[in-house]
């Protein structure tokens, strides 16, 4: 099973998902590792910018057991927020350096970062249409990040798009060869880290205010719709 590595250097913290070809995705234990790394990044005054990336062909795999995730996400907005740590648990900017497939949970975590850079081999997809989890996060956040029609196309299909397509619709800010991905992310992070930490934090807070405006109300609507769907299906 894959895990997480975490290192800090020159004011930059890097969180890396380590996946092998046989790994299908994160489990609750790995999510706890992620939360611990994000907490340390947020608390360490020497760290100013974070990078989230992966190894191999996957950025971050899909959940092997989505039911516990859905149950946790529906417990209330405060619990929901803990599942998306980069926009809720730290005020410092985080760059997603998407190295491979970002589908389902990996797609959500990429959306949760402030900036996304992709390798030429990266792909993106919301995941199976029948998975209610799209209502919890992707359906609420994706239309805030890219044009509405493009967001709905991804949400209402199982279409997998390339990094180049993601760049054209504004999902990612740049596409680079795989061998240059981390160098590109670190160069951007170093540029950002030259700012004073208060300025970085204030800028992110203002940006997130607009990105997350009425997100709590939107979450409550999604939770009600999911409950109605389960009742209608006799679950």
Distances (CA, A) of 59 to 80, 164, 192, 198, 229: 22, 16, 23, 30, 31
Q: What is the pLDDT of residue 79?
A: 63
Question: Where are the chain's structural domains?
Answer: 3-193
pLDDT digits (tens, 9 = 90+) for 43-79: 999 999 999 999 988 898 665 545 555 565 566 666 6
Q: In the prediction, which pLDDT does 142 show? A: 94
Over range 93-108, report the average pLDDT. 94
- Quick check: helix, strand or coil at residue 85? helix
- The pLDDT tens digits for 131-174 are 666 667 888 899 999 999 999 999 998 899 999 999 999 999 99
The two three-digit tokens of residue 128, written as one number: 């199976």
Is the Cα dihedral 79, 107, 199, 188 positive or negative? Answer: positive
| pTM, to two decimals | 0.89
> What is the token pair recorded at 91?
């005020």
The pLDDT mean for the chain works out to 86
Query: What is the CATH number assigned to the segment(s) 3-193?
Result: 3.90.226.10
Quick check: 111 and 83 in contact, CB under 8 A?
no
Distance from C-alpha of 67 to C-alpha of 65, rounded to nearest angstrom: 6
3-state secondary structure of 77: helix
């Amino acid at each position: 099973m894959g895990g997480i590595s975490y290192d800090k250097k020159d004011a930059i913290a890097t969180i890396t998902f380590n996946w092998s070809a046989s790994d299908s995705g994160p489990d609750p234990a790995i999510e706890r590792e992620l939360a611990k790394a994000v907490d340390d990044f947020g608390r360490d005054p020497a760290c100013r910018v974070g990078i989230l990336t992966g190894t191999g062909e996957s950025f971050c795999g899909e959940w092997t057991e989505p039911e516990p995730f859905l149950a946790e996400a529906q417990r209330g907005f405060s619990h929901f927020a803990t599942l998306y740590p980069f926009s809720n648990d730290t005020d410092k900017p985080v760059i997603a350096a998407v190295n491979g497939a970002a589908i389902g949970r990996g797609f959500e975590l990429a959306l949760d970062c402030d900036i996304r850079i992709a390798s030429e081999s990266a792909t993106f997809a919301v995941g199976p249409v029948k998975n209610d989890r799209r209502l919890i996060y992707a359906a609420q956040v994706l239309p805030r990040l890219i044009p509405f029609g493009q967001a709905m196309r991804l949400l209402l299909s199982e279409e997998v798009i390339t990094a180049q397509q993601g760049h054209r619709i504004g999902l990612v800010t740049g596409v680079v060869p795989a061998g240059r991905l981390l160098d590109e992310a670190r160069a951007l992070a170093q540029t950002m880290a030259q700012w004073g930490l208060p300025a970085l934090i204030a800028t992110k807070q203002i940006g997130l205010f607009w990105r997350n405006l009425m997100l709590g109300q939107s979450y409550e609507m999604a939770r009600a719709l999911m409950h109605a769907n389960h009742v209608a299906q006799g679950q």
